[in-house]
């Protein structure tokens, strides 16, 4: 190898090393930023409770919350949003009634809670 090709390969190696360093820093910052957030999976739906003892079938609202992250989450309330634009209304789910579950659930990592 002559002197010119050696210098060219040295420059290419320096550029590749700097690109690797920048990508490592960006990846570590992305992972650090992502780790601090609470990541919940939420499903809500209409259910009917069918039992042998009862002849009536009550309508229920089922809410399933799964903590998909590593940080524990504390759920203290549930709000609903219905409609669009000017017809949008906001509702709050009330708890502590005889027909509802107790509240203030603690979701540890990768745990399901049902309401």
Is residue 102 scored above 80 in pLDDT?
A: no
Of 38, 42, 50, 44, the C-alpha closest to 108 is 38
Mean pLDDT of 62-75: 80
CA distance 77 to 7: 65
Kindly state whether residues 63 and 106 are assigned to the same domain.
yes
One domain for residues 63 and 95: yes
The answer on 57 and 22 residing in a single domain is no
pTM exceeds 0.85 for this model: no
Query: Whole-number mean pLDDT of the chain?
Result: 80
pLDDT at 65 over 70: yes
Q: Which domain holds residue 104?
A: 40-114
Q: Contact, 38 vs 17, CB < 8 A?
A: no
The verdict on 51 and 100 lying in the same domain is yes
Residue 20 — pLDDT band, cuts 50, 70, 90? Answer: very high
Total tally of structural domains belonging to the chain: 2
């Amino acid at each position: 190898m002559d002197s010119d090709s050696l210098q060219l390969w040295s420059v290419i190696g320096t550029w590749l090393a700097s690109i690797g360093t920048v990508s490592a820093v960006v990846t570590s910052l992305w992972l650090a930023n992502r780790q601090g957030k609470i990541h919940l999976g939420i499903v809500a739906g209409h259910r009917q409770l069918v039992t042998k003892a009862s002849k009536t079938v009550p309508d229920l609202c089922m809410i399933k919350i799964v903590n998909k992250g590593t940080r524990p989450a504390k759920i203290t309330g549930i709000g609903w949003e219905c409609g669009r634009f000017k017809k949008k209304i906001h509702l709050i789910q009330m708890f502590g009634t005889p027909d509802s579950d107790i509240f203030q659930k603690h979701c540890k990592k990768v745990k399901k809670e049902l309401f």
